[in-house]
Chain A
Amino acid sequence: MFDPTPILTGDRRALARLITKIENAAPEAAEALPALFPHTGRAHLIGITGPPGSGKSSLVNELAKTLRQAGRTVAIVAVDPSSPFTGGAILGDRIRMRDLYGDPGVFVRSMASRGSLGGLARATADVVKVLDAAGFDVVLVETVGAGQAEVDIARAAHTTVVIEAPGLGDDVQAIKAGLLEVADLLVVNKADQPGAESAVRALKASLELAHPTRRLWEDNGHHRDRDRDDMFPLPPIAPGLKKDFKRLPPTAVEAPATDVFFWLPPVLQTVATQGKGFAELLAALDQHRAYLQTSGELQRREQTRFTHEFEARLREVLLAAARARLGDQSFATMLARIIARQIDPTSAARELLGRVQTV
């Protein structure tokens, strides 16, 4: 029987070993996760994503230091890609995190993506749960260097920070769908370099363009209402984020009772290697957390997150149960009929479902 006490009391060796077991889908992990799940839900889960070389690891290093100075404990999960050919990986994120060693309030873990394509590993969400249960105030998840479509992080985190660096593209790049859409905060890192101002300008302009009315993202419930913003000038809430954090009029039609706030991602600037801009970044992160809690957005995101996870697990167990009932032979026979073009995959699935129900 799994004893959750070492994890809950901060035994680092037990924590590290359990993470390995989760990565390997070992039987102990299946015992541990149900025992730890009731202890989750307290940490602020922050995703850090952006293109390779934009400075994710350096920013995580500096952000972790800033969080520690503010008295908060930090766990870091840094994901790097696995080779599609050998399954091996070089996990190099610790190179930039050397300032963090020797502090019992920090725990850093590198993960290989092991074939997942969304920017995280399959086990990342469960590893984050364990770190949450272990009592860290903040869990920072650094994704694989992301291109345009590695958006899984938005489903796993409360707050998604997208990092850009100067000189990575024109203003059309900035209005494309994908990565920029899932950003709760946008950060132009390396802001001391030429082109930083125009990168900030392009991102801000894209935010003006790309927030159509009533946009609901099915997977994460990002919920913004741009037209009303223009119709009703809104009072500023926080001094640092005047333009970006706004209140909808209480009389707004259609808006649910909890939906009083909406969030337009602020565009921040940092120089991670010099620690510049991090007080502002911390303030914006706290602002976003407050927004999630007061607006009802947190519940909405939890709902979409767990709907997704629950349905995925349900698919796994139902498929396994169906296989167990019908036997592998039925699947093989059906597969052969599909390949011979005697039946299409959808009809084949329906036929098997019919058999499961009558067996």
Chain B
Amino acid sequence: MADTQSKIRVLVAKPGLDGHDRGAKIIARALRDAGMEVIYTGLRQTPEMVAEAALQEDVDVVGLSILSGAHMALVPKILELMRANGQSDVPLFLGGIVPDEDLAPLKAMGVTGVFGPGANTEAIIQAVREAVKSA
């Protein structure tokens, strides 16, 4: 067998209505260059679409990019759907504009990590690898 090595599979999704996907594309590209398989779903995904993609693609990690400020509505919905699909063990990361006061509640609902503007891609890659290892 030529390649028995498993790859980290990551879903990069943009739920909600903002149309700014440069950040998501940069992250997708960085994760690709780190040797991961990135399933990129494009703009304006509903929570149901994100959870269904995570299920069918059997991803190891979900990364959400939300710049609309709707994360406190979208993230719990996605986590709930993933739980219902038996994917509560899949780490979820959030990127975008997230006010400091939301960080604690997001962690409490099960978000593994939050990255804001200017986050170092190396740090994100490292965080993804560690989350997969300990999942």
Contact = CB atoms under 8 A, between A and B. Distances in A.
Interface stretch (A89-97, A147-155, A167-175): A89-97
Interface in A10-26: 12-13, 16-17, 19-20, 23-26
A109 B56 CA distance: 6
A112 B32 CA distance: 11
A108 B42 contact: no
Given A24-B5, A101-B52, A115-B2, A94 B39 contact: yes
B34 A94 contact: no
A87 B7 contact: yes
B56 A107 contact: yes
Contacts of B2: 115, 122
A102 B29 CA distance: 28
B11 to A, nearest CB: 9
A89 B32 contact: yes
A90 B28 contact: yes
A224 interface: no
Given A98-B49, A101-B49, A115-B2, A88 B56 contact: no
Nearest to B28: A90
B58 A20 contact: yes
Contact of A20 (B9, B46, B49): B9
A86 interface: yes
Nearest to A316: B1
Contacts of B56: 12, 16, 107-109
A83 B32 contact: yes
Interface in A104-136: 107-110, 112, 114-115, 122
Given A88-B32, A101-B49, A109-B57, A25 B38 contact: no
Contacts, number: 94
B101 to A, nearest CB: 33
Given A24-B5, A101-B52, A112-B7, A88 B42 contact: no
A115 B42 contact: no
B4 A95 contact: no
Chief secondary structure at chain A's binding surface: mixed
Interface residues of B, number: 35
A318 to B, nearest CB: 15
B49 A91 contact: no
A86 B29 contact: no
A89 B37 contact: yes
Interface string B21-60: 0000000110111111111111001101100110111100
Contacts of B41: 94-95, 98
B7 A101 contact: no
Contact of A25 (B3, B37, B48): B3
A86 B57 contact: no
Contacts of B6: 20, 23-24, 26
A37 B42 CA distance: 35
Nearest to B58: A16
The residue in A17, A24, A122 that gathers the most chain B C-beta atoms within 10 A of its C-beta is A24
A215 B48 CA distance: 50
B126 interface: no
A109 B49 CA distance: 14
A241 to B, nearest CB: 35
A112 B36 CA distance: 10
A37 B41 CA distance: 32
B105 interface: no
Contacts of B68: none
Interface of A: 12-13, 16-17, 19-20, 23-26, 82-83, 86-92, 94-95, 98, 101-102, 107-110, 112, 114-115, 122
Interface of B: 1-7, 9, 28-29, 31-42, 45-46, 48-49, 52-53, 55-58, 85-87
16 contacts: A20-B58, A25-B4, A83-B33, A83-B35, A87-B35, A88-B31, A88-B37, A90-B29, A90-B32, A91-B37, A91-B39, A94-B53, A101-B49, A109-B57, A110-B57, A114-B3
Q: Which 3 pairs between the two chains have the least Cβ-Cβ distance? A: A95-B42, A88-B32, A16-B58
Given A86-B34, A88-B36, A94-B41, 12 more contacts: A16-B55, A16-B58, A20-B9, A24-B4, A83-B35, A88-B37, A88-B38, A89-B37, A92-B40, A92-B42, A101-B53, A102-B49
